Chains A and B, each alone.
Chain A
Amino acid sequence: MKRNIYVFFAIFLFFLAIPLTNALDTSLKVYDYADLLTDGEEATLKSEVQKYIDAYDMDMVLLTTSENPYSDPYDYAADFYDENGFGKNQYKDGVLFIIDRTQGYNDVYMLTTGEAIRVYDDNRIDSILDDIAEVKEEGYYQMFHAFIESSSFYASKGVAPSNKDTHLTKNGDLAYNRKFPWFPFGLISIIVSSVIVGILVAKNKMVKQATSASLYLEKGSVNYTRKEDRFLHTNTSSVYIGSSSSSSGGSGRVGGSSTRSSHSGTSHGGGGRRM
């Protein structure tokens, strides 16, 4: 009985601990740690973000920081997204936009996860960043606003055409759809079965002209009186085969989206630049 009480107490403590460790309120969606926005701007942006989330069934997070321990805003953004459990549905679908002031510049980065990787290919991310860059003189609020507007525009168009033949794997990685190889499979099957049937058909033909007398050659009677090989000429030809380049590990490009793995192992797409 005493033991049961301990177990019950442990379970109670465990559930109590969840809200303590997961302290961040993921419903806020706007996290202005670098204090670049007014409270009013934050509230406006939050309602715009909520519209996006409701309309496209993808999460959206806006983030500013001036204390990024990494050299790349990607790392901070990806960790923030993964560790706090943002994202909707099975693949944690969603986008995060960060303005990183750590280096003293506006290092912006757009992070995509899950289905958002398929929606925002590299070209679309570039266009979104262009739209943001256009309004960078007008302040941070305008930059976030441009991000939401441009992202909504592309989300309404659905999956990027360059990613039509892709899908997300169990781990949330982007992969090409496997197309059933009708033609090569059919061709292989027909060729192999034709060869097998041909061999079996040939078995019914047993009457053949003999062309060799090797059965009647006296063993050991072959006596070579001349074995001479004279060198005639040599010839060297060359064919251009092109340079072989190897791709780097950890990141890759499938369809139209470049992806890389975060510290937690989750695949993210995205792109950023200094403004």
Chain B
Amino acid sequence: MAGGTLDHKCPNCDAVLKFNPHGQNWVCEYCQSKFTREEIDAQEAKKGHVLNEETEADKLEKDAEGMDVYSCPNCGAQIVADENTSATFCVYCRSTAILKNKLVGKFNPAYVIPFQKTKEDAIEAFKKIGKGRPFMPKLFSSKQNIEDMKGVYIPFWLYDFGVSGALEADAKRISSWTSGNYRYTKTDTYRAYREGNMTFHKIPVDGSTRFNDDMMNSIEPFDYAGLQTFTHAYLSGFLAEKYDVDSDAARKGAEVRAKNTATSMLQESIHGYDAVSVLKADHNLELLKNEYVLLPVWMLNIQYQGKIYMFAMNGQTGKLIGDIPIDKKKVAIWWIGITLLLFGILTVIWLIGGLL
């Protein structure tokens, strides 16, 4: 264990072990031996790694630009990483370097959802992204445009809330009828009061400023049944980040979402009216639990006509999101085409109507 980095070596041949998303096991790149989570844990215990002990000595030094410098456990070359990177690759021998001091103490994740989708899965998903999207430029989703892709374990905060809420709304019941030459409309107005409480589990908020919050929202949901207790062995073969937004700062985003849903839950319980308008809603949130986890995301950078488009794929479910450029010429052709087609259909119906 040299220079503050961790690696996982095959007990048979000492080659690097990498996590295999499809098999959910570890495979030796050299002798193809396979290892389960239990075997990896046993191996770790034998080596006596103590992860929860913060040892500043593991970090070798900081370079002039404030980057952390480590030495590769495989070839001894220098590995430079910014302060939020917790797993990376040695640029010389491509072996995984897990930066121990980024994963200890308050940065030790409680759980991790391991990757279930491989790089190939992500490429396949990207090639099919034009399906049902006729306005994508023709060559956008070709494999050649994938400039860069990486599997990243992104730090997330998961929040459990107990919410007690109160809501006031105006509710209207409208009936109308005709009598003689007049149409009558009767509006009965009620004031609806609703109070109630509810529980939210594991609302995710991304804890890294490096990743766009809306993008991280858009790859939800993760299946939390896949949460595993954290072991750094899952990081081998992938990149990982540590949080740079702490739990208190990230919480706000989760609170807003919980409050919105609490409001709509209370509003939905107002039945039997034709119109409901919320006057005010007050919610008290109690933080029940707060966990630091790493969630798997494939990040794809797409280069198209000199511009970079970012895509993200949920590394567990395979949900791929990103904003696709719009081919304005195709939009114009479709718009004119559909307009003319509809006009033609209406004309034919009109002509048939004239014959009958």
Residues of A within 8 A of B (CB): 178, 180-181, 185-186, 188-190, 192-194, 196-197, 200-201, 203-218, 221-243
Contact = CB atoms under 8 A, between A and B. Distances in A.
Q: Top 6 A-B pairs ranked by shortest CB distance?
A: A210-B217, A193-B338, A226-B195, A213-B257, A189-B342, A221-B199
B190 A222 contact: no
Contacts, number: 183
B201 interface: yes
Interface in B109-145: 132-136
Interface string B182-217: 111111111111111111111100000000111101
Contacts of B326: 201, 204
B187 A200 contact: no
A200 B333 CA distance: 13
A216 B203 contact: yes
A201 B135 contact: yes
B342 A192 contact: yes
B254 interface: yes
Contact of B198 (A189, A211, A221, A232): A221
A236 B185 contact: yes
B interface, size bucket: 35 or more
Contact of B218 (A180, A188, A206, A236): A206
Given A209-B214, A234-B186, A180 B323 contact: no
B76 interface: no
Residue among B134, B178, B334, B335 having the largest count of chain A Cβ atoms under 10 Å: B335
A216 to B, nearest CB: 5
Contacts of B75: none
B12 interface: no
A180 B181 CA distance: 34
B306 interface: no
Contacts of A178: 350, 354
Contact of A240 (B182, B325, B338): B182
Interface stretch (B60-68, B91-99, B259-267): B259-267
Given A200-B134, A230-B193, A210 B199 contact: no
